[in-house]
Amino acid sequence: MEITLTPAVPILRMHDVAAARRFYLDYLGCSVDWQYGEGDRPVYLQVSRGALVLHLSSHHGDGTPGAAVLVETRGLDDLHAELGGKGYPFLNPGIEDGPADGRTMELVDPSSNRLRFFERPVTA
């Protein structure tokens, strides 16, 4: 059998499920693909937008708050404009120079996880 590796799916710790849902669904524009657990029980869910897939967990030991995830992006200016129009009161991200002559926009979720949207430079 041929060995096949697929893109990794980060597991990000969340402390407040409602705040995480507001950030990932209302602000970032993700959809919930599935959820396990609710109420006072630990919650584990998958959110996605296009090819971006993230797991969010309130289980003790799943992920460390403050983790960083690099999201390779095309259309960074359009994403920046879209998010700026949402009126989310907790963030006003900018676009900065990034590694390898690219550009980045960093978002911090309610559990202090950092999502770094990275756009490579356009080559001629």
Where does the chain show beta strands of DSSP type E?
Answer: 11-13, 31-36, 44-49, 52-57, 68-72, 96-97, 103-108, 114-119
pLDDT by 10-residue block (mean), the chain, 124 residues: 93 95 97 93 96 96 90 96 91 91 96 96 75
The pLDDT value recorded for residue 97 is 93
The pLDDT value recorded for residue 124 is 56
The pLDDT value recorded for residue 88 is 87
Cα dist from 42 to 37, 48, 55, 57, 102, whole Å: 6, 20, 13, 8, 38
> Around Cβ 73, how many Cβ atoms within 10 Å?
20
The pLDDT value recorded for residue 2 is 95
The pLDDT value recorded for residue 70 is 96
The pLDDT value recorded for residue 40 is 82
The pLDDT value recorded for residue 65 is 83
